[in-house]
Amino acid sequence: GINAEYGEEAKDNNALRYQISEPCTRILSGREKFCLDYNANRFSNKRKPHPIKSISQPFDENLFNFNKIKPAEVLCGIALNKDTDCVNVTMDNSDSILAINDSPLSQYHLLILPEVRENHSQKLTTLAVELGLSYLVCKKDPNTRVVFNSLRAFASINHLHLHAYQIEEALPIESATVSHLSGCCFVLTSDYPVPGFVFELQESSDTLVESVMKTVGILQDRDIPHNLMITYGDPLIISSNETPRPVIRVAVWPVQPSDELPLPDGAPFRPAVCELSGHILLHDKTAYDTLTYKDVWDILALAALDADTFSEICESVKNRLE
C-alpha cells in the first residue's frame, strides 16, 4: 500500500529533512477538544515561505516549486476514477502525483500535486478537490485528513498542492455543531472560534465538489484567503432511527490575511488549516506543557472574519448554491 511504500522511500532514500518521533499529544479540556501536537523539528527545518501579496499571485518558476523535488520524494502518479470515486495509483508518467512531504507533521505525510507540470499557482481547482476527496475515499481511514491552505492563509509554496496526513485523535471540526444553509452546505455555529462552512458528502461526490467550488469561487473572486479540510466526521443531519455513522465532511474557513494577523510576539502557533480544525501544531515544549483552552481559542479567533463580512459571504454562498 501507499503507507508501506512511503516508509520504504523515506527510510531508504533519506527523503525527509528530519525523522518523526512518536506522537506527543495532549487533549485540552473544554467544549472543543483541542489536540496539542508537539514536533520540535518542523518549524526549524521547513522551507521559508514565498513572499505573497494576493491569493491569486501567479506561479513563479524561479522560486522553489514541486518540479524541483528529488525523484526519491515522488511516490506514484494518481488519476481520478469516476466509476469508483477513488484515485487510481499508477507508476506511469501521470499528470498528478503523490509525493513525500520532506517536512512532515506526522507519519505518512504526503503531498497531492494536481497536474504538477502545468505549474498552477496555489489556487484551489475542481481537480484538486476531486483528487483530495478521492484519496480520502480510497484510504477508508478515519485517521487520514486532506488539507489545503490558500495563499495568505499560511500556504508556504505557490504551486498547487494539498497535504494528506494521519493523526489518531478526533478533531473538534469533526463534531462541531452547524446550522443548515443550502443543499449539502452548513455553517459553523458561534460555538466555534472561527466561522466557516461545512459540507457533507450525501448521495453525490459531484454535488459535494460543485458546492465546495462554488463557495471557494466566491472567496477567490473577492481575494479572501481560506483554508480547507476534508475529513470524516459526525453526520450533519441525523435521522432518529439510525445509528450515526461517520461521513465525509469538507470544512472551508474564510480568514483574515495571514500576513496581517495581529499575532503576539512569540505566538506559540499560527492559525493555519490544521489549527483551525483543532489540531494545534507546536514546536516549543513549554508551550505544549502550559497552553490553556483560552490561549488556543484567542489565537484561533484572530483569523476570524468580522461578523458582518462573514454574514455577507453566507448570503452570497446561499444565492450561488440555490
Largest CA distance in the chain: 58
Residue 231 gets which letter from DSSP? E
CB contact at 8 A, 209 and 126: yes
As a whole number of angstroms, the distance between CA 238 and CA 240 comes to 6
Known catalytic residues are 161
What 3-state class would DSSP assign to 110?
A: strand
| Rounded-to-integer distance, Cα 174 and Cα 182, Å | 19
Question: d(Cα 197, Cα 105) in Å, to the nearest integer?
Answer: 25
CA distance linking residue 215 with residue 199, whole number of Å: 10
Q: Cell 469516476 maps to which residue?
A: 82
Q: Are 230 and 128 in contact (CB under 8 A)?
A: no
Q: List, in sequence order, every residue forming a beta bridge with 230; answer none if it has no partner.
A: 146, 250
Judge whether 214 and 261 are in contact, CB under 8 Å.
no
